[in-house]
């Protein structure tokens, strides 16, 4: 099987990690794999040397409608030449836009194109151009969603030909497992880019409420982003500099997660939260907002984690205090959360991708 994967980049990020893992998996199966990217093609992950990376170098800022049109025309022209040369059996695109471009560029050459949605489309696909790509997805041969919620946003025509495959644990958890009762009782962690949608202000307010109840907890936040200065301001304003530490980014997050009993996610919306999956796999007792989409598909409330209302620091602080006061609650959540290592293992998730792609190629 000749497989082509199209996206903007393979430098770093969640989608990029999935692309590289998929490409390696296909190569190990003996398939011919090419990754076509819009940037310079530099790869931030270990890629099988049998996989070809083709750079179209079409990324850039378009200042007006003419620039947009010219860039799209260049993109589709380059894509058509690449498709003609590779003659793939299937093209997997990790974004609706790239799926549209591949379908148009491959007309008369390669008719099999699968799209993918990795965000929360209700929050992220609100612009005219994005809505156009969503509406045109009905002409694709298949589509891969991460959640049923994201699937519901798309036309019924493509829903019937789609599948839902969650994010997975695409890196080996090579850190030594630390039992829950050996982790520091008052240490809490969070991971993710520092952005408004993650609602770190809610997280900070929750920690403030816990401290006001007499618990000297410390929250360690791993990640970077443009919102860092605002988060620092909120921390200082609430006099929590000793209780909340911005740790920055880490290349290896699993050894860090193993240190903590508790993990917080306070987002307004998600696609499918990688950070929550990682924390559960590391045995953290997780508290997450029941936002659209992802957390409720990972957490069975009160069994392997806690789900709380969006924008509700009181609920979060109550859960933290409850677990501090009764260690058996956090221990049970931790023990049950670890089972995600099996359900979302790399082998399991990649196997689902492979089966669906193979079925689409064969017209099943």
Output the pLDDT for position 235: 98
Look at domain 2-168+345-361 and name its CATH class.
alpha beta
The model's pTM is 0.89
Sorted by where each begins, the domain ranges of the chain are 2-168+345-361, 180-343
Going through 105-227 in order, the beta strands assigned E by DSSP cover 113-117, 142-145, 162-164, 184-191, 218-222
29-46 core/surface letters (b: 16 or more CB in 10 A; e: else): eebbbbbbbbbebebebe
Residue 175, pLDDT score: 76
Per-residue pLDDT of the chain (364 residues; tens, 9 = 90+): 999 999 999 987 778 989 999 999 999 999 999 999 999 999 988 999 999 999 998 876 666 766 777 888 889 999 999 999 999 999 999 999 999 999 999 988 877 999 999 999 999 998 988 999 999 999 999 999 999 999 999 999 999 999 999 999 987 787 789 999 999 999 999 999 999 999 999 999 999 999 999 999 999 999 999 999 999 999 999 999 999 999 998 888 999 999 999 999 999 999 999 999 999 999 999 999 999 999 999 999 999 999 999 999 999 999 999 999 999 999 999 999 999 999 999 999 999 999 999 999 998 6
Angle between the N-to-C axes of helices 327-337 and 274-281, in degrees from 0 to 180, rounded to the nearest 10: 110
**Pick from 126, 130, 155: which is nearest to 143 by CA?**
155
Query: Are the C-beta atoms of residues 258 and 176 closer than 8 Å to each other?
Result: yes
Quote the pLDDT of residue 364.
66
* DSSP-based three-state secondary structure for 147: coil
Q: Angle of helix 128-136 relative to helix 96-105, nearest 10 degrees?
A: 60
- Give the Å distances, CA to CA, from 258 to 132, 189, 246, 253, 266: 43, 10, 17, 9, 20
Q: What is the b/e burial string over 217-240, where b = at least 16 CB atoms within 10 angstroms of the residue's CB? A: bbbbbbbeeebbeebeebbeebeb
How much is the pLDDT for 11?
87
Residue 73's pLDDT is 87
Q: Hey, do 2-168+345-361 and 180-343 end up sharing a CATH topology, with the first three levels equal? A: yes
Distance CA 254, CA 173 (A): 6
Contact 71, 114 (CB under 8 A): no
Whether 185 and 324 have beta carbons less than 8 Å apart is answered as: yes
CA dihedral sign of residues 309, 313, 317, 318 = negative
- Residue 44: the pLDDT is 87
pLDDT of residue 150: 96
In this prediction, residue 57 carries a pLDDT of 87
Domain 180-343 has CATH 3.40.50.2000: yes
pLDDT at 87: 94
């Amino acid at each position: 099987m000749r497989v082509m994967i199209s996206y903007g980049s393979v430098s770093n990020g969640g989608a990029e990690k999935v692309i590289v893992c998929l490409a390696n998996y296909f190569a190990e199966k003996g398939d011919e794999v090419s990754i076509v990217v819009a940037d310079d093609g530099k790869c931030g992950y270990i890629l099988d040397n049998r996989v070809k990376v083709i750079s179209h170098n079409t990324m850039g800022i378009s200042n007006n409608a003419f620039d947009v049109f010219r860039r799209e025309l260049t993109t589709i022209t380059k894509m058509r030449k690449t498709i003609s040369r590779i003659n793939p059996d299937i093209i997997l695109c990790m974004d609706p836009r790239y799926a549209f471009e591949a379908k148009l560029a491959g007309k008369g050459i390669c008719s099999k194109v699968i799209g993918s949605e990795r965000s929360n489309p209700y929050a992220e696909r609100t612009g005219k151009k994005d809505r156009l790509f969503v509406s045109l997805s009905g002409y694709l041969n298949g589509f891969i969603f991460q959640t049923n919620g994201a699937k519901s946003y798309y036309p019924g025509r493509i829903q019937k030909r789609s599948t839902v495959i969650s994010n997975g644990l695409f890196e080996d958890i090579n850190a030594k497992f630390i039992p829950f009762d050996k982790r520091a009782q008052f240490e809490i962690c969070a991971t993710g880019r520092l952005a408004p949608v993650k609602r770190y202000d809610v997280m900070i307010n929750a920690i403030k409420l816990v401290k006001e109840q007499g618990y000297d907890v410390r929250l360690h936040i791993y990640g970077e982003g443009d919102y860092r200065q605002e988060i620092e301001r909120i921390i200082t304003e609430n006099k929590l500099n000793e209780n909340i530490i911005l740790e920055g980014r880490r290349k290896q997050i699993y050894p860090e997660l193993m240190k903590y009993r508790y993990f917080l996610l306070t987002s307004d919306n998600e696609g499918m939260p990688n950070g929550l999956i990682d924390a559960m796999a590391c045995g953290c007792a997780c508290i997450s907002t029941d936002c659209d989409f992802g957390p409720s598909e990972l957490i069975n409330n009160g069994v392997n984690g806690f789900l709380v209302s969006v924008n509700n620091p009181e609920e979060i602080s109550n859960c933290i205090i409850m677990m501090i006061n009764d260690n058996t609650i956090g221990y049970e959540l931790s023990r049950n959360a670890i089972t995600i290592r099996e359900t979302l293992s790399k082998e399991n998730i990649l196997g689902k991708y492979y089966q669906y792609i193979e079925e689409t190629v064969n017209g099943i």
